[in-house]
Amino acid sequence: MTNPSKITLGSMVYSLGHFDGRQVAYDFKKILIFLKAKGNLLFGTDFEIFEEDHEVLFKLCNYAIRDFGTCRKLGIDPNKGILLSGPVGCGKTSLMKLIRHITPHFKPYEVIPARNIVFGFNHMGYSIIEDYGNGRFFCFDDLGVEPTGRHFGKDCNVMGEILLSRHDLFMETGTRTHATTNLNAQEIEERYGKRVRSRMRELFNLIAFDQNTKDKRK
């Protein structure tokens, strides 16, 4: 890519900042304009970026563009993944699907509903856990509301096992993992246990919507 600061959508070219030939000086206001346009393409013309979400978006954008200085100021470790938490309908999934498009020159992650992974386990068994413990980039969507896995009569906390595998992968190779969740820290511990919660602290940066954020799907 000759100029990573410019992204073409249809007949429109969007500038995300200034490229000096070596690095991009990103402009958050320009990024928001691009995200609105891309969101309309992905999710329909009713998609909006709300001012109340700018704080969360600012953190996600600086993480995505690898602005190490701003990440340090925000308390974000750019080497870890993102755990985006918030109430139902606040826009977590849409933002995680959207934010990856501002850096098309980076390797993208795949957004996978956690419940789909469990359904796959119920059909295929433990090979599913191995499949998601590999070196690919994933964002596990709606973590914590998936059912318990069951294969040939044996129950398994599928996502808990996958998170442990992803933690091992992260410690060995630095491969990052992302996730979205409606659960708070106590609920995560109740769902997955203290061991997984401890590993998640090492695996993720927590970025959270305000608990009073409105349901945008209503």
CB 85 within 8 A of CB 93: no
Please report the pLDDT score of residue 152 as a whole number: 83
Confidence of residue 135 (pLDDT cuts 50, 70, 90): confident
| Selection from 136, 133, 132 nearest residue 119 by Cα | 132
- Write out the DSSP string of 45-105: TT----GGGHHHHHHHHHHHTT-HHHHHHHT--TTSEEEEE-STTSSHHHHHHHHGGG-TT
Q: Any idea where the domains of the chain sit in the sequence?
A: 79-208
Distance CA 79, CA 28 (A): 21
**3-state DSSP assignment of residue 209:** coil
Instruction: Kindly tell me if the per-residue pLDDT of 36 is higher than 60.
Output: yes
pLDDT, average across residues 22-47: 95
Instruction: Kindly tell me if the per-residue pLDDT of 92 is higher than 90.
Output: yes
Please report the pLDDT score of residue 210 as a whole number: 87
CB 63 within 8 A of CB 176: no
Residue the block writes with tokens 């030939």: 21
Instruction: Kindly tell me if the per-residue pLDDT of 25 is higher than 90.
Output: yes
| Selection from 148, 84, 71 nearest residue 111 by Cα | 84
Q: Could you give the angle at the alpha carbon of 159 between the alpha carbons of 158 and 160, nearest 5°?
A: 90
CA distance to 74, 92, 97, 179, 201, per residue, from 140 (Å): 23, 11, 11, 4, 16
CB 137 within 8 A of CB 109: yes
Distance CA 28, CA 7 (A): 15
Confidence of residue 153 (pLDDT cuts 50, 70, 90): confident
Please report the pLDDT score of residue 35 as a whole number: 97
**Eight-state DSSP code of residue 176:** -
Please report the pLDDT score of residue 45 as a whole number: 93
Instruction: Kindly tell me if the per-residue pLDDT of 1 is higher than 70.
Output: no
Distance CA 169, CA 200 (A): 13
CB 86 within 8 A of CB 92: yes
- Positions of E strands within 40-104: 81-85
Please report the pLDDT score of residue 164 as a whole number: 96
Choose the weakest-confidence range: 82-86, 176-180, 208-212: 208-212
**3-state DSSP assignment of residue 15:** strand
CATH topology of domain 79-208: Rossmann fold (3.40.50)
Confidence of residue 203 (pLDDT cuts 50, 70, 90): very high
Distance CA 39, CA 50 (A): 12
The phi, psi pair for 82, rounded to 5°, reads -115, 130
Instruction: Kindly tell me if the per-residue pLDDT of 204 is higher than 80.
Output: yes
